[in-house]
Amino acid sequence: QKEVEQNSGPLSVPEGAIASLNCTYSDRGSQSFFWYRQYSGKSPELIMFIYSNGDKEDGRFTAQLNKASQYVSLLIRDSQPSDSATYLCAVNKGNTPLVFGKGTRLSVIA
Amino acid sequence: DVKVTQSSRYLVKRTGEKVFLECVQDMDHENMFWYRQDPGLGLRLIYFSYDVKMKEKGDIPEGYSVSREKKERFSLILESASTNQTSMYLCASSPVGGRYGYTFGSGTRLTVV
């Protein structure tokens, strides 16, 4: 059974701090890694994807991938109250369906 | 703006009814998916399709069927709705290859009474 594990939270950070969200996956053959943001009552929205080991930056977001440790993380710099949401990690291999974690709830306190 | 459109945002149906949930995408994507999302259980894959008239079972297909007669449309059918099918249903699409993630529809919150 392929699994993606995330801490459910809530993760509370003060406004302006760095939020660090973590995810581990069980299938060592996984090739593509995604982070989705989901606001309460809304559908998931893709914010980052990463394929190679290392860091990928997009604005205030940085995705980090370590395939040897089967670990992917999302850093949010200068966190804002509008970043408060549930963040879903997802992985896949080739043209297979994404396997989602259950999500980490982030709360940014003003 | 590219879109995945689900026909209903909220739906209330009675136990035993046949329910159709429609999903249409305008991105010419090959792949389409149906998930349900429940508190504490996350997103669970019901069915998916890689091409017209193709369908594959996901992790929880029991009680559901699907239809994909046209590339842009993927329908989820609850053959005989039951209260344990009360959930948020999410449709998604993606291009072939799996490297670009999904675009989700806005979801249908189905309540079966």
Residue-wise pLDDT for A54-63, tens only, equals 999 999 999 9
**B interface with A, Cβ–Cβ below 8 Å:** 31, 33, 40-43, 45, 48, 50, 58, 90, 96-107
pLDDT at position A102 over 70: yes
Amino acid B89: pLDDT: 98
- In A34-91, alpha helices (H): none
pLDDT at B106: 96
Residue B1 has pLDDT above 70, yes or no: no
User: By CA distance, what is B56's nearest residue in A?
Assistant: A97
Cα separation of B98 and B101, whole Å?
Answer: 6
> Comparing C-alpha atoms, which of B23, B7, B18 is closest to residue B103?
B23
The whole-angstrom separation of Cα B42 and Cα B44 is 6
Tell me what pLDDT residue A1 has.
Answer: 67
Instruction: Pick the residue from chain A with its C-alpha nearest to B95.
Output: A95
Q: Assign B2 a pLDDT band (cuts: 50, 70, 90).
A: low
In chain B, which residues have their Cβ closer than 8 Å to the Cβ of A102?
A: 40-42
Smallest CA–CA distance, residue B31 to chain A, in Å, is: 9
pLDDT for residue A27 is more than 80: yes
pLDDT tens string B54-109 = 999 999 999 999 999 999 999 999 999 999 999 999 999 999 987 889 999 999 99
Nearest to A97 among B48, B97, B106 (CB): B48
With 90 as the cut, is the pLDDT of residue A94 above it? Answer: no
Collect all residues with Cβ–Cβ distance below 8 Å to A22 and sequence separation of at least 6.
Answer: A6, A7, A71, A72, A73, A104
Nearest CA of chain B to the CA of A88: how many Å? 9
Give the nearest partner residue to A51 out of B31, B58, B99, using CB atoms: B99
Nearest in space to A53 (alpha carbons), one of A70, A34, A77, A29: A70
Interchain proximity B107–A43, CB inside 8 Å: yes
Q: How far apart are CA B56 and CA B39, in angstroms?
A: 25
